[in-house]
Structure 1
Amino acid sequence: MSNELLWYLSRATGITSIALLTAVLLLGVVTSGRRRPVGERATILMGLHRWLSLGMVAFLGVHITTAIAETYVSIDWISALVPFTSAYSTAWVGLGTLAFDLVLAVVATSLLRQRIPERLWRRVHWGAYAMWPIALVHGLMLATSAETILTAITIACGAVGAAGIAWRLSTGHADRDARRGALQGEWS
């Protein structure tokens, strides 16, 4: 495979990973919290969340592999696993590595969900809220000026994801709201 093809494949799988990560984030937002769906709709959305997560991990794997294989820049396997060790664009590649490490933590705890405490799984899953903007910054900062479409897609993912997170934060939490009501003497 030519170096140029690897370079384009790395960019294409990177932007696809960002788009899928944004979709997964939005599905996570929709299927959690006070307004979460119930019944068959919840089952369908959770299944979609899982399958898109798997797709994102697959595209991310190809993105990392092709970024290492192409020789325009020097990125090695250590740099793909240990943040801020890349000789090339240390900070921005390091953010991508950090996001990947968070992906690994979320995937590992999801696979072990039945064997670990629910609280641990939930705390690690909250890492997705950090992973997503880190991945966006990684993509924005490593894009070249000739890749305006990739930059535009990344910015659009940022806007859509931020709107979803804002919606999630605005919905409140049923248990917390009930406790507030009890403290204020609102008995029903």
Structure 2
Amino acid sequence: MSDQLLWYTTRAAGAVSLILLSGVVVLGLLARARVERSGWPRFLSAALHRDVALLALVFLALHIVTAVVDPFTHLGITAAAVPFSSYYRTFWLGLGTVAFELILAITITSLLRRLIGRRAWRGVHWLAHAAWPVAVVHGLGTGTDALSWWLLGITVVCVLCVVTVAIWRLSAAPVDPLVRERRGAPLRAGR
């Protein structure tokens, strides 16, 4: 593989990873809001969330592997595994490593969900709320074209989608009728 092809592959895989990871976050937020109540079954939401996450991991792995083997950066395995250890754009690549390790923790605990229990899995799964913005900042600070119109446009659209759904999710009424009743109903005597 030529150096130029590696460079283009790294950039493309990074951009596709951003799009897919943003989709995973959006699907996760929608699933928590129980969007399936409108005729979209829960199992389909979970399957789509999982499948998009797995596809994102494939592109993320491609992004990391091509960046590591690219002779221009001379990153090596250590820079990909140990945050802030790279000589090349130390801070920005360190953020990418941190985001990757958070995503790796989410993936591993998701695979072990039945063994570790739902509560532990959910606690680690909350790391997605940290991993995604760290990955976005990594993308903005790394690369020769991080602030090019096309990559900046992709980033802005991804951020707007996630922020919009997060705001909607935080402001949405609870789906559970008991929670709704407790929040909206006056207290009755004897309760």
Global fold match (TM > 0.5): yes
Measure how far apart 1:71 and its partner are: 1.6
Give distance in 2, aligned partners of 1:136 and 1:176. 35
Pick closer, same or farther for the CA change 1:114–1:142 going to 2, 3 Å: same
Partner residue in 1 for 2:137: 137
Secondary structure of 1:31's aligned partner:
helix
Unaligned runs of 5+ in 1: none
Give distance in 2, aligned partners of 1:150 and 1:55. 20
Partner residue in 2 for 1:79: 79
Q: Give the percent of matched residue pairs that are identical in Structure 1 and Structure 2.
A: 42
State the number of aligned residues: 186
Once the two structures are superposed, the pairs formed by residues 19-168 of structure 1 within 5 Å of their partners are: 19-33=19-33, 35-38=34-37, 41-145=41-145, 147-168=148-169
Measure how far apart 1:32 and its partner are: 0.8
Pick closer, same or farther for the CA change 1:41–1:85 going to 2, 3 Å: same
Q: Deviations over 1:127-154 (max 9, x none)?
A: 1111111111111111434732112101
Measure how far apart 1:94 and its partner are: 0.6
Deviates more, 1:104-113 or 1:78-87: 78-87
Deviates more, 1:173-182 or 1:44-53: 173-182
Give distance in 1, aligned partners of 2:184 and 2:45. 31
Amino acid at match of 1:101: E
Give distance in 2, aligned partners of 1:9 and 1:85. 23
Amino acid at match of 2:166: I
Which TM-score applies when normalising by structure 2? 0.88
Amino acid at match of 1:91: F
Unaligned runs of 5+ in 2: none
Partner residue in 1 for 2:171: 170
Pick closer, same or farther for the CA change 1:156–1:186 going to 2, 3 Å: farther
Paired residues of 1:13 and 1:60 also in contact (CA < 8 A): yes
Secondary structure of 2:41's aligned partner:
helix
Paired residues of 1:86 and 1:94 also in contact (CA < 8 A): yes
Amino acid at match of 1:11: R
List structure 1 segments (4+ residues) > 6 angstroms apart after TM superposition: none
Paired residues of 1:92 and 1:142 also in contact (CA < 8 A): yes
